[in-house]
Amino acid sequence: MINNEPVHFSLKYLPLLIRLRCCEPARLPGYLGSTLHGILGWALLNHKEAYRYIYENRKMAEGGYDIPNPYIINPPGYREQYNKGDELRFQVILLGDALRYAEQLINALITAGSFTIGAERKRFQLEEIMQYDQLQSIWKPGLYAPEAIKAEVLSEHRTEGCTNCSIQLLTPLRIRRSGSLLTELDFITIFRSISRRITELTARYGGFVNEQEIVWLMEAAQHIQKTSSGLYVKNMERYSTRRDKKMDLSGLLGAMTFQGELAPFTPWLNAACILHLGRNTTLGCGKIDAVIMN
């Protein structure tokens, strides 16, 4: 009999690709994580239950325990100028039990139809919503296919025999220790961030994590050696309307390479490529890419 029970972890997610079309020349913030967070929240305002669960879940925690919200925004690459007809595409990833609000989120975007973005409030028209991993259209003019709203599950695939890996930080990675932003990372810090994120998400939004394996891997992570590092701090800030002040979003960019017995860590590294690491992941921070090599 084949045992289909998860070995390392299990978490459902729904990757949505949102395609907008620029209707007039627009100058936007280079990094759109905070801007897209704002327009999604605006679209959801008339869907109170979905808004509270997706955007304000951390406020539901008892005893002030800080928990992650069940979504991630992947903004487009750094770009300030959009011309009429240009496409703006970004991802929204719903996590765990937040998938039950997927149709409400999609319907909110369809109902809005267009969005005014940036300080000059330039108009962008909704063109398509897709299930990103399957590349299937959920909505576009003349088509609505809710059957394409299909959940994915984090892969547990383990790459055997690998002894080298490269980790690239694609958006600012914000990990703090004693209140200060870390400017260098070792492998145990990276794995601790991965395992903590998966543990917190599955505890709040359903799924499974093998906590005994985490204990063993924390010990094993001490023996993974960093062989190169080219990290630097990217200074970035966002304006918070709610707090009426600028908020620091500075974090690390660059790449590192590691060497050692990496096979047990490969499922966790692959999961981190989807879930991001560190703080402000809802705004797209902490996106990484991991390349596993023999």
Q: How far apart are CA 206 and CA 23, in angstroms?
A: 40
In a domain, 170, yes or no: yes
> Is residue 131 domain-shared with residue 184, that is, in the same domain?
no
State the pLDDT confidence band at 127, using cuts at 50, 70 and 90.
very high
Burial class, 185, CB count within 10 angstroms (exposed 0-12 / middle 13-18 / buried 19+): buried
Structural domain including 142 reads 9-153
In a domain, 253, yes or no: yes
In a domain, 31, yes or no: yes
With 50 as the cut, is the pLDDT of residue 92 above it?
A: yes
> Is residue 144 domain-shared with residue 205, that is, in the same domain?
no
CATH code of the domain containing 243: 3.30.70.1900
Average pLDDT, the chain: 92
Among residues 6, 8, 4, 5, the alpha carbon closest in space to that of 211 is found at 8
| Tens digit of each residue's pLDDT (9 = 90 or more) over 169-205 | 999 999 999 888 999 999 999 999 999 999 999 999 9
Among residues 206, 121, 226, 216, the alpha carbon closest in space to that of 165 is found at 226
> Is residue 145 domain-shared with residue 169, that is, in the same domain?
no
Number of domains within the chain: 2
> Is residue 77 domain-shared with residue 196, that is, in the same domain?
no
Domain boundary among 153, 182, 206: 153
> Is residue 32 domain-shared with residue 144, that is, in the same domain?
yes
pLDDT at 64: 47
pLDDT at 67: 79
Six token digits for residue 124: 């962008």
Residue predicted with more confidence, 236 or 16: 16
pLDDT at 62: 55
State the pLDDT confidence band at 283, using cuts at 50, 70 and 90.
very high
Question: pLDDT above 70 covers what percent of the chain?
Answer: 92
Identity of the residue numbered 44: L
In a domain, 159, yes or no: no
| Tens digit of each residue's pLDDT (9 = 90 or more) over 27-40 | 999 999 999 999 99
CATH code of the domain containing 36: 2.40.30.310
pLDDT at 1: 37
> Is residue 116 domain-shared with residue 89, that is, in the same domain?
yes
> Is residue 76 domain-shared with residue 147, that is, in the same domain?
yes
What does each C-alpha distance from 70 to 41, 49, 98, 201, 271 come to in angstroms?
14, 14, 6, 7, 15
